[in-house]
Amino acid sequence: MKGLVMKKLILAVSLAMIAVGAAHAGPPAPKQQGIEGKDYKWNAQEGEKIEALKLKGDKKRGLEAYEVCGACHLPSGAGRPDGTFPQLAGQHTTVLIKQMADIRAGLRDNPTMYPFAATLTDPQELADVSVYIEGLCIPAEHGKYEGKDADKQVAAGKELYEKECKECHGANGEGVKDKFYPVIAGQHYKYLLRQMTEIRDGHRRNANPDMVKIIKKYNNDQLVAISAYQSSLVMPGSMCKAKAPAKKK
Ligand code: HEC
Ligand code: HEC
């Protein structure tokens, strides 16, 4: 497959550049104003996104397409506990497709991953890789809040979460598939804290305006607490069994 060879080449170069700490070469990502702009319509149903959402994904082809992704997000989809690469396993296909399309369209910055998102131009391939990722079990081991006051932070975060977040992200962090609300369970603390901060400060320009309204009023301490709580969430039935390798359905 020509596309795959090309992607592996990009991958080798990218990983080498990450290793030496160099900025990424190659075409810069486009940039859209998103939530900073006046006419922002969150999750406008247009372009390749609706195409991919309509298609039925194929897990077998998805496994193949996921190969390049696994270099950063790991073959299990677990990402890294230090939060550099998010956990993807078990995420809703709708969320995966929307985030990929937004990164491609310049609504969400991700310079490290952009070259890969940029080559994923085929809506069928996007549907395939998404259905594959959604089918992966969520690893129970992931980056959590590690301070001595963890119990206190988790308790404070729980109070906030249940009041203002549960409605969209669910009591167990399960999100809502057909509304594009992400799964939070199993996500790494440091990634969560980074996303919360970027969304609050307007840097994740594809963010949901209702969520932004809520999170705008939180100070840094509250973001720490709420991230600590989120990283403690467990989604029954979707987590990997202890010690078993990521199962491929
Ligand atoms: C070179 C490393 C790298 C590769 C390869 C890579 N990603 Fe990523 N990906 C990242 C990073 C870094 C982030 C988080 C960026 C941030 O902090 O916003 C990310 C974020 C994401 C997100 C958003 C997750 C969320 O919870 O919102 C999705 C979806 C995603 N990647 C899917 C993929 C898929 C599918 C592939 C393969 C086609 C892939 N990635 C390949 C580095 C990579
Ligand atoms: C109105 C529904 C809604 C509410 C309320 C809401 N969110 Fe969200 N949240 C979303 C959507 C939708 C996204 C994905 C944004 C996008 O389009 O990129 C998101 C993204 C996130 C992310 C990033 C996930 C990832 O994988 O990158 C985190 C973390 C998060 N929300 C936590 C929270 C917390 C904590 C609260 C409460 C303070 C909250 N959300 C309130 C809908 C909501």
- For the beta carbon of residue 171, count every other beta carbon within 10 angstroms: 11
Residue 24: pLDDT band (50, 70, 90) is low
Amino acid 39: pLDDT: 84
Amino acid 245: pLDDT: 58
Amino acid 36: pLDDT: 82
The tens digit of pLDDT for each residue in 170-221 reads 999 999 999 999 999 999 999 999 999 999 999 999 999 999 999 999 999 9
Contacts of 26 (CB under 8 A, 6+ apart): 10, 115
Amino acid in the structure at residue 170: G
Amino acid 136: pLDDT: 98
Q: Six-digit token pair at 57?
A: 């994904």
Q: Six-digit token pair at 37?
A: 């702009």
- For the beta carbon of residue 23, count every other beta carbon within 10 angstroms: 7
Q: Is the CB of 138 under 6 A from ligand 2?
A: no
d(CA 226, CA 153): 8
Q: Is the CB of 94 under 6 A from ligand 2?
A: no
Amino acid 48: pLDDT: 86
Q: Is the dihedral of CA 106, 199, 220, 176 positive or negative?
A: negative
Q: Is the pLDDT of residue 6 over 80?
A: no
d(CA 216, CA 209): 10
158 versus 140: the higher-pLDDT residue is 158
Taking all residues of the chain, what is their mean pLDDT, rounded to a whole number? 91
Q: Is the CB of 162 under 6 A from ligand 2?
A: no
What percentage of residues in the chain have a pLDDT greater than 90? 76
Residue 244: pLDDT band (50, 70, 90) is low
> Which residues surround ligand 1 with Cβ inside 6 Å?
11, 14, 68-69, 71-73, 84-86, 88, 96, 99-100, 110, 112-113, 116, 120, 129, 182, 194
What percentage of residues in the chain have a pLDDT greater than 70? 91
The tens digit of pLDDT for each residue in 40-89 reads 899 999 888 999 999 999 999 999 999 999 999 999 999 999 999 999 99
Q: Is the dihedral of CA 19, 21, 26, 31 positive or negative?
A: positive
Q: Is the pLDDT of residue 25 over 70?
A: no
Amino acid 19: pLDDT: 64
Can you tell me the mean pLDDT for 161-169? 98
The tens digit of pLDDT for each residue in 111-134 reads 999 999 988 989 999 999 999 999
Residue with the smallest CA separation from ligand 1 atom 18 is 110
Q: Six-digit token pair at 222?
A: 């509250």
Atom of ligand 1 nearest to the CA of 108: 18
Q: Is the pLDDT of residue 137 over 60?
A: yes
Amino acid 243: pLDDT: 64
